[in-house]
Amino acid sequence: MTETLMHHAAGVESAGRVHPPQGRKNSSVVKRSVVRNGHKSSISLEDEFWDALREIADHEHIAISALVAAIDHGRTTNNLSSAIRVHVLDHFRRSDKPKPAASVAVAPKNRLR
């Protein structure tokens, strides 16, 4: 494999971030420190997940560290970063569902004869 192909296949690493080959959306993994339960923890998440986590914390009027502590307390996996990703996904799935309208009549099901 040529050096150029290896460069694009592996991604480019700079400043602690791994960048995908050209033409793909850049979802850099960023490691940040968060204090949870009085201890500093390093958490690696993609920029989009950090943004979403901040949005959830702002919406709930709590600090990111408090949100991470709540996710940590309720997680069922060993990996905190994965638990955060699942929490973010679940949050936006729940908020994206249409709310049932009380005044909308339900049409009867078609029956086969």
How many domains does the chain contain in total?
1
Q: CA-CA distance, 96 to 98, in Å (whole number)?
A: 6
In DSSP notation, 48-87 reads: HHHHHHHHHHHHTT--HHHHHHHHHHH--SS-HHHHHHHH
Structural domain contains residue 113: no
Range of the domain at 41: 26-95
How does pLDDT run along the chain (113 residues), one tens digit per residue?
A: 444 433 433 443 334 444 444 554 667 899 999 998 788 999 999 999 999 999 999 999 999 999 999 999 999 989 999 999 999 999 999 987 776 665 445 555 555 55
C-alpha–C-alpha distance, residues 22 and 93, integer Å: 30
Q: What is the pLDDT of residue 95?
A: 85
Given this model, what pLDDT does residue 36 score? 81
Decide if 100 is inside a domain: no
What CATH number is given to the structural domain containing 61? 1.10.3990.20
Answer yes or no: are the C-beta atoms of 53 and 90 closer than 8 Å.
no
Q: What backbone phi and psi angles, to 5 degrees, belong to 107? A: -75, 145
Q: So what's the pLDDT on residue 70? A: 95
Q: Is residue 76 part of a domain?
A: yes
pLDDT at 87: 96
Within a domain: 112: no
Q: Is residue 21 part of a domain?
A: no
102 occurs within a structural domain: no
